Structure 1
C-alpha cells in the first residue's frame, strides 16, 4: 500500500528527473537551432522575387513546342538572328523562351518541374547566346531587355546551370548598371537598378544589394523641370516634357511597387513618406490618365498607339500590391481595384484634373471620361517616332479631345485612322503628312492651360500649328452631363480646307441626324449638312450650337499597321474596320472662322431628342479675345480671357479682368459663392479683376477691396509660382 508521503516523494523524484532531462533537451535543441541557417531579410527578398516569377501559369503545350522545335545549336526557328536593327531584333523571343522554360522547370505544379530535358534546353539556349552576345542597335535591349531575361533565368535555374556558363552570362547581365547610358533619372533608371538588384540577389552580394535599393528608393521624388515625376503627378521621360505618364511613367510606378512588396517588413523596406508619394502618383497621376482609372487612353499615349492592343484595360495587380503594403488612401485604392475587377459600371469617380506641367486635362464622371491634350512653349507637341513607331502622330497634340464611355471606342483604330481627323483638333487638310522626322515640334504660344476647382473646369489653347499656316483660339468647358467646345479666330492660308473634327472613332450601331424638324437614320457613306441640329451615334449626341457646314462619313475603311509602325513584329496584313467621322468644314483661305458644338455623353436616343441645350447652356462669348459659357442649371460661368476685358455674367453681374486669365465662377443669384482662377501664360504673380458684387470668399490667397460708392469688389489673387505655376487657385467653400 502506497502512503501519501511516499507518493509525494515519488512525485518529487519524478519532477527532478524530468527537469534534468528537459535541461538536456533544451541545450540539444539550442545547438540544433544554431546549426540551422537563419532565413535573413536578404534571403526572404530573394524568395519573394523567385515566387513572383512563378505566379504565372505554365502552358504545357507551349513548353512542349519549345522543346520539340529547338535547333541543336540552341536557337529556335522563325527568329531572324541576323537583324539586330532598331526595327528588328527578334532575339528577345529567344531570351523570352529561356525564361518560359526556366519557369516551367521551377514551377511546383508543372509537369516539367526538375525536367533534365528542360534544363538542357535552357543550357543550350544560354550557351548560344553567350557565344554570340547579340547586341542591338537599340540600347534598351542591351541594357534592359536582355539583362532582365537573363537574370530571371539565373534566379530560377542559375544554381543548376554549368558554372562556366553562368560566369559567361554575367558581363551581359552586367550591362544593367547604374552608370549605363540608359540609367537616366526616369523609369528606365529604376528598371536598370531593379535588374542589378536581382542579379546581386543571385550573386549573394548583400552590401551592394542594399546600396542599390537605396538608389531605387531615392528615385521616388519630384523632379520638376527635368526627367521624372512632376509636381502635378505627371511623368516626363525626356527633357521634351511630353506626357509619358501612362507609358514610361507606368513602368516607373510598377518597378517601385515591385520592390515595395519584395522589401515589405524587412530592413530594406521603403520609408512611409516615399510610399505616400508612390500611392499619390498612382492615384492622382497614372489613374487620372486612364479612362475610368482602367483603360489606357488615346490622348495620353504617344508612339505606342502604333502597337496592336495599346489601349487595353489594366488589371488590379499593382493597386492590390499597394494595398498589401500600406493603408494610405486605402479607400481610393480599393475603388480602382473594384473598377478593374468588377467593371466600369462600378465607377463613382468624379473629378477635373489639369496636369499643368504636361498640358494635359482629364475629366471623369461616373458614366464617361474625356481628355484634352495640348502643347506650348514649355512642352513639345509629341514624342519622336522612336524605332519607327507612331509615324503619323504629327497632330495628336493639337487640342486632341477623346471621349470614352466604354473605354473601347478607339481600340486598335489606328491602322485605319485618318490622322488629319483626330478628335478635337483643327487641322489643315494636306495631301500628305510631313515626313516622320518632322513630327516633334516645340510650341509657339504660352497661353495654354486650364482652370479647375477639382470637380469642374475649362481649358484654353492659344493654338498655332507648328506644321501649317494655321491659328485658332480653342476652348473646352466641362460640366456634369455635357461639355461645350468653342473655336474662334481660325485663320489659315492655302487652298486646302480646314477641318475641326468632333470625333473619329469605331462605328457602333445606327447613326441618327436631326435636320430641321426631321429625325432620320442615315445610310453609310458621306453626308453634308448646312442646317444640322444634332448627330447621334453610340450613345453620344453631338449638338451644333451655331450655323456651320458639317460633314459626316461612316462605313468601312481599310488600312495597315505598317503605315504607322515599321517594326518587324508589326502585323503585315490589311485591316478593315467600320469607322465614324464627324467634322466641321471651315473651307480654305480661312479668315476669322469659328465653331461651337456641345457633346452629350452616355445619352440614349430619346434623351438626345429631348435635350434642349438652350435650357442648359448659354454662350456668353466666342471671340479671339474671350470664350465663355454659362450653365444655367448649375449656376456656373467658365470664362477664358485671352486679354483684358469685361464679361456680362447675367443677372446683372459683370466681371472685369485687368489682364488675361481663366476664371470659373459658382453663382447664387448675384453672389459669387466659389471661384477658381489660373494664369496659363505663367507670367503673372498676381491676378487682378473686379466684380460688381460684394465678394466674401474664404481663403488667404486673395485680397478684396470693397468700393461701396461704386459697388465694386476689387480683387487681387496671389498666383502659384515656381513648379506650381499654371495650377489653379480655389477661393471659397
Structure 2
C-alpha cells in the first residue's frame, strides 16, 4: 500500500512538473519559428486577395493531387498571416485587419475540413500547419475557433508500424497537441516514442554507416532524413533542461548523423539526385542539405562539437570544403570530396532498393540508382536541371535505347583509407520485359584531382549498341575538344578519335580509341513532366552531354575514361597527355589502376592475379583492395562475412573482411 502511494505521489509530481514546463516548451517553439521564419511583406497581398468567404481564388480547393496537394497552400498562407500578426518586426503586428483575415481564412478551413486522398497530408501536413497557427495566435482566437483548430491538429495519427521520419512527424505533433491540451500522459508517450526512434538501426532510420533509409533499403538522405534530423534537433532544443529532455546519447546520434553522413553526401548545400530518390523531382530539392539555420540550435545542444558544426556552416557558406573518401555500404553510395570538386556515385546491389515513383513524382527517374555519378564544383552543375534532363542519359550510366531497369547483383562496394578509394559494381541493365540487356563491370578510382572510370566486359543480349554518359550537366561555358582552339557550337557533334573534352572546370579523357557524341542543346521543359505537383510553366535550360558510343556488342568490349578537375583547356591537354595513372587491367577478372606515387587500387570480381611495377598481386575471392603507403586496405564487395588470402610477391596475408562492407584498417606490408 505504501509503495502504491509513493508511486501515485511521484506520478502526480511529474504531471505538475510537465504542466509547469508546458508553457516553456511551447514558448520555445514560438521562439524557434521567430528565428527561422522570415517576415514577409506578402501578408498585405494575401489579405487583399482573400475573398469574403475566406478563400484565395488561385487555389484549387477541389484538387485531388497526392503529392503537391493544392489546398494545403491555404494553411501555409494562414500560417504566414499568423506569423506577420504576432511578430513585432512585422508592419502587420497586431493589426486588426490582419487578425480579421486570419479568422476568416480559418473559418473556411474549419467549415470545409478539406481532405486529400494521400493520408500524409491529412495526418501530418495539415496538422503541422495548424500546430504552428495555434501556437502563434491561439490566445487571439475565439474559444470556438481555437477548439476547431485543435481538432484539426488532432488529425495526427501515430500508427503502430510507423518508423523513421514518419514516426518523428506524428509523435512531434502528438507531443505538441498534448502540451496544448494539458494531456501529460500523451506528452510523455510521444516524447518516449521520439527518443526511442533516435537510434542506429537497419530498418527505416539512421543506418550503422550514418546514411538514412525510408521505405525499405532505400537511401532518402535529404527527404525523410532531413525531416528526421531537423525535427529532432528542434525538439531536443525545445525540451532541453526540462523533465522531457532528450538523453545525451540521443543528441550524440543526431550529431554523428550530421557529421559522418549528412555533410559528406553534399558539397556545401548542394547534393545530387542519387542521395534523395524520388524527391529529386521537386523544385529546389538539391539544396535540401542546407542546415545553416539549424546549426545555432545544434550548437546549443552539443557545445562540445562547436568547432565541427561551425565548419559545416563555413562550407555551406561557400568557404572551404571537405577532403576525403567516404563509402556508405548500407546504401551503396560513395562520396569523394576534394578542395575543388566532389564526386558522388550511387550504385546498387541486392542489399538496396531501386528508385521509387509514387504520388506522381519521379515520373522519368526509372534509371536512378543505376551507377549514376555526379561531378560538382560549385553546385550549379545540376541544380534545378532535372526537368530539362534526358533521363535516359543520367550522368555516369552505361545504357542503351529501350533500357528500363537495373538488375540488382550481389557485387557492389568500396575500399578506402579515408582519403582516396574506389567504388565498384556488377552491372546489368535490361529493357522492360528483360528480353534485351547489357552487362558489365564498372568501377570508379578516386585519387587527387582525378577519377578513373573503367567499364569492363561490356556485352549485349539482343542489344548491338550502347553508350556511356560521361556527364549531363548545365552547359555554362565554352566546350573545347582535342585542342585549345577547337571550341564547339550548339548542336550534336559526332567525334571519332576523341582525345579529350573540356567544359566548366572539368576535363573528360576517353581511354584508347574512342568515338563520342558531344551534345550541346537548348532545351525547353516543364517541372510537371517529372512531377505533377510542380509548376506547368516552361523553363529553358542549356545542356552539356558528352557520350561515349559503343557498337557491335556481340563482341565483348572494355574501355574507360578519366574525369579530372582543371580550369583551362591548356590544363586539359596536359592531363590527357599525362594523366598520372596507369591502367594495369580492365577485364572480366579485375580492374586495376596504379598511380604515380605507387598507390594501387584493384577491383577483383573473382580469384585473380595482376602484375605491376612493384611485383605481383593475387587474391582468392572477389574483393576490393587498396595498396598505399606500405599498407593494405581491403573490403568485401559481397558482404559475405568471409576472409581473403592476398599474396603480394612472396608474402601471404589472410585478411578477415568486415561483413558489412566497410574497409579494413591498414595492414602493414613491411
TM-score normalised by length of structure 2: 0.92
1:185 aligns with 2:163: yes
Q: Distance in 2 between matches of 1:88 and 1:473?
A: 40
Structure 2 counterpart of 1:290, from 258, 262, 266: 266
Structure 2 counterpart of 1:381, from 347, 354, 375: 354
1:497 aligns with 2:445: no
What SS is found at the alignment partner of 1:536? strand
Structure 1 counterpart of 2:186, from 205, 208, 215: 208
> Contact 2:116–2:122 (CA<8 Å) still a contact in 1?
yes
Structure 2 counterpart of 1:630, from 570, 591, 594: 594
Report the equivalent of 1:556: 522
Report the equivalent of 2:290: 314
Report the equivalent of 1:461: 425
Superposition map of 1:155-170 within 5 A: 155-170=135-150
Q: Distance in 2 between matches of 1:255 and 1:135?
A: 24
> Contact 1:444–1:466 (CA<8 Å) still a contact in 2?
no
Report the equivalent of 2:474: 506
Structure number with larger C-alpha Rg: 1
Report the equivalent of 1:406: 378
Q: Which moved more, 1:518-527 or 1:474-483?
A: 518-527
1:281 aligns with 2:249: no
Report the equivalent of 1:324: 300
Following superposition, the deviation at residue 171 of structure 1 comes to: 3.2
Q: Could you give the per-residue CA deviations for residues 511-558 of structure 1, whole angstroms, max 9, x where no partner exists? A: 11116xx85222221222222211111111111221121221113122
Compared CA separation, residues 250 and 641, structure 1 to 2 (3 A)? same
Report the equivalent of 1:525: 491
Compared CA separation, residues 138 and 156, structure 1 to 2 (3 A)? same
Q: Could you give the per-residue CA deviations for residues 165-222 of structure 1, whole angstroms, max 9, x where no partner exists? A: 3223333312213237xx7111121011112222222223344323322221221101
Following superposition, the deviation at residue 562 of structure 1 comes to: 2.4
TM-score normalised by length of structure 1: 0.85
Superposition map of 1:574-593 within 5 A: 574-587=538-551, 589-593=553-557
Q: Distance in 2 between matches of 1:509 and 1:77?
A: 43
Report the equivalent of 1:69: 49
What SS is found at the alignment partner of 1:295? coil
What SS is found at the alignment partner of 2:373? coil
Structure 2 counterpart of 1:57, from 38, 41, 44: 38
What SS is found at the alignment partner of 1:371? strand
Q: Distance in 1 between matches of 2:574 and 2:607?
A: 38
> Contact 1:426–1:499 (CA<8 Å) still a contact in 2?
yes
Q: Distance in 2 between matches of 1:38 and 1:209?
A: 8
Report the equivalent of 2:174: 196
What SS is found at the alignment partner of 1:136? coil
Q: Could you give the per-residue CA deviations for residues 478-502 of structure 1, whole angstroms, max 9, x where no partner exists? A: 0012110000111113366311110
Count how many residue pairs are aligned between Structure 1 and Structure 2.
Answer: 646
Q: Distance in 1 between matches of 2:439 and 2:296?
A: 46
Structure 2 counterpart of 1:105, from 85, 88, 92: 85
Following superposition, the deviation at residue 147 of structure 1 comes to: 0.3
What SS is found at the alignment partner of 2:101? helix
* Contiguous gaps of at least 5 residues in structure 2: 1-16
Report the equivalent of 1:11: none
Report the equivalent of 1:150: 130
Supply the RMSD in Å over aligned alpha carbons. 2.1
Q: Distance in 2 between matches of 1:531 and 1:387?
A: 45
Compared CA separation, residues 105 and 681, structure 1 to 2 (3 A)? same
Following superposition, the deviation at residue 361 of structure 1 comes to: 0.6
Report the equivalent of 1:136: 116
Q: Distance in 2 between matches of 1:410 and 1:565?
A: 17
Superposition map of 1:649-728 within 5 A: 649-651=612-614, 653-667=615-629, 673-692=630-649, 712-721=650-659, 725-728=660-663
Q: Distance in 1 between matches of 2:276 and 2:420?
A: 24
> Contact 2:325–2:420 (CA<8 Å) still a contact in 1?
yes
> Contact 2:134–2:150 (CA<8 Å) still a contact in 1?
no
> Contact 1:359–1:373 (CA<8 Å) still a contact in 2?
yes
Compared CA separation, residues 612 and 134, structure 1 to 2 (3 A)? closer
Structure 2 counterpart of 1:48, from 16, 23, 28: 28
Following superposition, the deviation at residue 466 of structure 1 comes to: 4.4
What SS is found at the alignment partner of 1:202? helix
1:351 aligns with 2:289: no
> Contact 1:368–1:602 (CA<8 Å) still a contact in 2?
no
Following superposition, the deviation at residue 163 of structure 1 comes to: 1.5
